């Protein structure tokens, strides 16, 4: 699936609190299996696997086969989008406040 709005896709996938919990777990470790994730979360391995698939599709999580296991980890570049976006909001306000200062200071 190719979404014309990749940022939107990533964020839509993260709109679900369960998926956020999964990503939070992934943030704590280098890479984990679906079984390991399910151990730390109040849900079945199957449910975790389904969410991991959605997160993979959105480009937030990537997986690699290691022997007989599939190991999942966060895709760091997925997090750069909101980071850059919020950074842009902050910079816009910095510039506006600086103009406000120059406007009202004598």
Partner 1 sequence: MPAQPDVVERELVIAADAERVWHALVDDDLLGAWLEADARIDPRPGGEVVVEFPDGVVRVGEVQAAEHERVLRWRWHAEGPGLDGAMRIATQVSIELTREGGATRVRVRESGFAAAGSRGVGFAAASGWVWDLLLASLALATALVLV
Nearer to partner 1, 38 or 74 (CB): 74
* Binding of partner 1 by 2 (CB under 8 A): no
* Binding of partner 1 by 1 (CB under 8 A): no
Rounded to an integer, what distance in angstroms lies between the CA atom of residue 37 and that of residue 43?
Answer: 9
Cβ-proximal residues to 60 (8 Å cutoff; 6+ apart), any chain: 10, 13, 14, 23, 74, 75, 78, 79
* Binding of partner 1 by 66 (CB under 8 A): no
State which of residues 24, 35, 44, 46 lies at the interface with partner 1 (CB under 8 A): 24
* Binding of partner 1 by 39 (CB under 8 A): no
SS3 of 8-46: the string is HHHHHHCCCHHHHHHHHHHHHCCCEEHHHHHHCCCCCHH
Give contact residues for partner 1 (rule: CB under 8 A). Answer: 5, 7-8, 10-15, 20, 23-24, 27-28, 74, 76, 79-80, 82-83, 85-87, 89-90, 93-94, 96-101, 103-106
């Amino acid at each position: 699936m190719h979404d014309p709005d990749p940022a939107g896709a990533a964020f839509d996938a993260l709109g679900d609190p369960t998926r956020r919990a999964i990503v939070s777990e992934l943030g704590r470790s280098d890479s984990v299996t679906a079984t390991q994730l399910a151990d730390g979360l109040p849900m079945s391995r199957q449910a975790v696997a389904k969410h991991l698939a959605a997160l993979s599709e959105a480009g937030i999580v990537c997986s690699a086969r290691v022997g007989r296991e599939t190991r999942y980890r966060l895709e760091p570049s997925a997090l750069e989008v909101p980071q850059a976006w919020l950074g842009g909001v902050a910079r816009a306000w910095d510039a506006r406040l600086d103009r406000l200062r120059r406007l009202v200071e004598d």
